Every structure is written in C-alpha cells, then in structure tokens.
C-alpha cells in the first residue's frame, strides 16, 4: 500500500500535519516564488497551513478572511512577520470577488507555489472556477464523513453546507492537471503534474491515504432499530426532514426520540458497542410532517388495541 507523502505529517501550526507534508514537497520540487495564498485563513497561528511558511521560511502570503475577529488577529501577527497581506473579504465563485480577480488585483504570480482552500462550503466550485492560475501545490478541504468511494458535491452557495467528498476533489484536480500526493484528516494535497515527477513517488490511491476515523456506519437490528458505529467525537443522531415517510410499526416506536431525550435501547449488546440513533426535527416546515407522523402513530395504536382486544372477545 502506497501512502504517498502522508508519513511526513508534522504539526507546527497546521491542524493535521500539513506543515510537514508541505515542507517535504517543496524540499523535493523546490520553490519558484515562495508565494502562498489561503482562504479562509482562520486566526493565523492556530490551524493555519501557511503561517509556518511565512514566519519561519520567509514566504510571502496573501490571505482572505471575512471574519472580523480573525482578520484582526492576522493584523496583530504582523508584529511577528510583515511578509503577508490579509483581505477582509469572502471569495466567491464568480464576479469581482472571484479568485482569479483577487489574485490579478494583487499581482500574484500565475504559478504561485501554494494555494490553500478551506471554507467548508464552496471549496470545490472555487477551485473549479480558477482558470488563469496554475498553483504548483494545492491544499483543499474535503468532507471527512463521506467515504472515499463516494462522489458528492454541494450545490454552489447551498444553504446546507457540506463541501465535497475527497473523491470528487481528486477527479476535479486530475481534470485540472494535478495529482494527489497526500490526504490528512480534512485536506487533500495535490501537486501539478509538471512537478510531480520531481517527487519521485507513485500517485497513491485515495483509499490508501484517506483517514476513515470520521466515517459513521449504521448498524441495524432485525426489528429495525438503528445504531451508529462512529468516533466519540461525532454525534449519534441524524436529522429527519421527511418525517411523513415514517410509519409507526410494532417494535419501531423506540427508534423515535425528540429533542435531547434518550431513546429506548432494545438491544443491550448493540447499545454497549454502538450508539443508538437519536432523531431530531429542527426545521419549522416539518411541523405538518411531524403532525402526520403523530396521527400515524395514533391510528396504528388504535389498530393494535382493537386487534388485541378483538382477539380476547
């Protein structure tokens, strides 16, 4: 199994070891301009993919951070290094705030050494929209809860943000001339094919470098009760938006819990190993659906009572 450059993970300021991987990449392919661009840039020192490069290795950075609190923290960091410029703005898919326009307006080299994309939403679409620039190395965030075998991309500016699956990002990157070299818990790291040969590695399979610790598995008992196998860091509930599809059946009522209540666990053994699923309604438009569900429960209970007492007669 080839794990690419994953073995070089090292945390200095990054979240999942990206610092060490980037250091190894540029040790092998060299630098051309030591220019890095990152958005959203966060608060600087914590979870940054580029602060180590700027402060300790003499790189120059352009950052976009719309959050005023984080923006101000970056401004404070200029006391430690003034090798960067931070813009308080969102990056959009098109228009005057698209990535191409921002880079052009700030005189960024067409083959900048590093681009880091981390906005938990339109990452895929912004990378896809980049036409005038060919960063040598790209770090882009993927959704770690989606298995590497699946393709999934949220719609542009979708209200329910979930970003994109790693597989979808790999396919897009390949189309744009990049090869996968590593994957951390939440980031895929790509090198442009023009420089890939200098790495002296084979392109790893996504499945071999993907961190599966955030993936949840649904386990079901024969009676339909459901349990989650997942990390303790992740919730044991799901959101139901189509509650009218639920029907009350014998032995199924224990699967329902509203709010923060704890549902009844029919299987003690499954409950010890897995997490019983909790169900929440969190949207106003589900009120009618929930009412339908309650009526369904009531009607089914009446049928069960009639059936039970009808037999006794």
Beta bridge partners of 85: 62
H or E element in which residue 137 lies = strand 137-141
Q: What is the mean pLDDT of residues 214-234?
A: 73
Provide the pLDDT for residue 21.
98
Instruction: Check the CA dihedral 247-253-258-263 and report its sign.
Output: negative
In degrees and rounded to multiples of 5, residue 177 shows phi and psi of 95, 25
Check: CB of residue 181 under 8 Å from CB of residue 5: yes
DSSP-derived pairing of the beta strands 226-229 and 237-239: unpaired
Provide the pLDDT for residue 49.
93
Predicted confidence (pLDDT) per residue in 8-43, tens digit: 999 999 999 999 999 999 999 999 999 999 987 667
Predicted confidence (pLDDT) per residue in 241-259, tens digit: 333 333 333 333 334 433 3
Predicted confidence (pLDDT) per residue in 246-293, tens digit: 333 333 333 443 333 334 445 565 556 666 555 444 444 444 455 666
| Number of residues written out for the chain | 313
Beta bridge partners of 142: none
Beta bridge partners of 219: 227
Helix (H, G, I), strand (E, B) or coil at 179: strand
Write the CATH number of the domain with boundaries 6-209.
3.40.50.150
Nearest residue to 178 via CA among 243, 133, 121, 228: 133
Instruction: Check the CA dihedral 59-102-79-68 and report its sign.
Output: negative
Tell me the domain boundaries of the chain.
6-209, 217-312
Provide the pLDDT for residue 235.
52
Which letter, b or e, does each residue of 211-247 get, where b requires 16 or more Cβ atoms within 10 Å of its Cβ? Answer: beebbbeeeeeeeebbbbebeeeeeebeebeebeebe
């Amino acid at each position: 199994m080839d794990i690419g450059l994953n073995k070089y993970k090292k945390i200095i300021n990054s979240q999942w070891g990206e610092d060490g991987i980037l250091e190894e990449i540029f040790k092998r392919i060299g630098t051309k301009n030591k220019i890095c661009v990152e958005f959203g840039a966060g608060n600087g020192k914590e979870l940054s993919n580029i602060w180590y490069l700027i402060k300790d290795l003499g790189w120059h950075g352009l950052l976009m951070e719309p959050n005023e609190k984080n923006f101000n923290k970056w401004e404070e960091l200029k006391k430690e290094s003034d090798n960067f410029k931070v813009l308080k703005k969102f990056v959009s898919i098109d228009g005057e705030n698209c990535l191409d326009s921002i880079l052009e307006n700030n005189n960024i080299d067409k083959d900048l050494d590093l681009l880091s994309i981390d906005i938990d939403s339109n990452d895929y679409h912004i990378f896809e929209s980049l036409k005038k620039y060919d960063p040598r190395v790209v770090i882009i965030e993927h959704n770690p809860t989606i298995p590497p075998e699946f393709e999934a991309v949220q719609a542009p500016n979708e209200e329910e943000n979930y970003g994109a699956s790693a597989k979808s990002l790999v396919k897009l990157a390949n189309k744009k001339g990049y090869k996968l070299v590593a994957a951390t818990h939440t980031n895929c790291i790509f090198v442009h094919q023009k420089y890939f040969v200098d790495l002296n590695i084979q392109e790893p399979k996504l499945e071999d470098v993907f961190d599966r610790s955030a993936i949840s598995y649904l386990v079901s008992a024969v009676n339909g009760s459901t349990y989650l196998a997942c990390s303790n860091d992740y919730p044991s509930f799901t959101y139901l938006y189509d509650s009218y599809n639920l029907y009350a059946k014998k032995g199924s009522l224990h699967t329902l819990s509203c709010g923060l209540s704890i549902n009844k666990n029919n299987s003690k053994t499954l409950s010890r190993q897995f997490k019983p699923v909790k169900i929440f309604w969190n949207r106003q438009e589900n009120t009618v659906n929930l009412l339908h569900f309650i009526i369904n429960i009531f009607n089914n209970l009446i049928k069960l009572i009639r059936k039970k007492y009808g037999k006794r007669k």
